[in-house]
Amino acid sequence: MANGHSTETVAHTEAPGGHEAAEATAWGFTPGGWVAIAMLLVFALAIWKKVPSAIGKSLDKKIALIREQLAEAESLRSDAEALKAEYEAKAKSADKEAKAMLKRAESDAEAIVAKAAEDAEALVVRRQAMAEAKIAAEERSAIDEIRATAARSATAAAAKLIAERNDAKTDKALVDRAISGL
């Protein structure tokens, strides 16, 4: 440079294989030094702009959101378990109720069958009594008819016999005897 000050200097380092290699420097810093300075500036700028606190706040918000979601999931899980327990209880209750209904239906069916058998037996007894009464009435009617027929036949036979054996003279004697007996 014109005034004799160079901002660029050359540093000598040993290269692999034992040779000395020249490395460029600016203001006395090697490229690795400049990378370190740049990193320090980036970190300083990030701290100055409060990037770590912004990242922390963002992470805190994310953590709070995840905690809310976990609490909601836990609440949903407990609600689901409560519903499951409720439905299991209802299922057991329905099972018991179905068994009770089946037992009632069986006992009702047995009672109906027993009542039907009893009613059928009573009906048979009533019908038998009615048939026996009808037969007895028919027997009495037949006996009465036979008696009436026998009486008519006896009367007709007696009248025929009397008419054959008795004449007007015998009839007069009978009538006179009957009148005197009064």
pLDDT digits (tens, 9 = 90+) for 112-146: 999 999 998 999 999 999 999 999 999 889 898 89
The whole-number pLDDT of residue 13 equals: 55
Residues 6+ away with beta carbon under 8 Å from 27? 7
The whole-number pLDDT of residue 15 equals: 52
Identify whether the C-beta of residue 56 lies closer than 8 Å to the C-beta of residue 46. Answer: no
Identify whether the C-beta of residue 7 lies closer than 8 Å to the C-beta of residue 27. Answer: yes
Give the lowest-confidence range in 50-54, 63-67, 103-107.
50-54
The whole-number pLDDT of residue 3 equals: 46
The whole-number pLDDT of residue 62 equals: 94
Residue 53 has pLDDT above 90, yes or no: no
pLDDT grade, residue 5 (50/70/90)?
Answer: very low
Mean pLDDT, rounded, for 26-45: 84
The verdict on pTM exceeding 0.75 is no
Identify whether the C-beta of residue 24 lies closer than 8 Å to the C-beta of residue 32. Answer: no
Which ranges of the chain does DSSP label H, i.e. alpha helix? Answer: 31-48, 51-165, 168-180
- The CA-atom distances, in angstroms, between 19 and each of 13, 30, 71, 105 are 9, 19, 67, 109
Could you give the CA distance from residue 119 to residue 111 in angstroms, rounded to a whole number?
12
The whole-number pLDDT of residue 67 equals: 95
The whole-number pLDDT of residue 4 equals: 44
Residue 51 has pLDDT above 80, yes or no: no
The whole-number pLDDT of residue 14 equals: 57
> Coil, strand, or helix at residue 21?
strand
- CA angle 98-100-101, nearest 5°? 65
Identify whether the C-beta of residue 8 lies closer than 8 Å to the C-beta of residue 25. Answer: yes
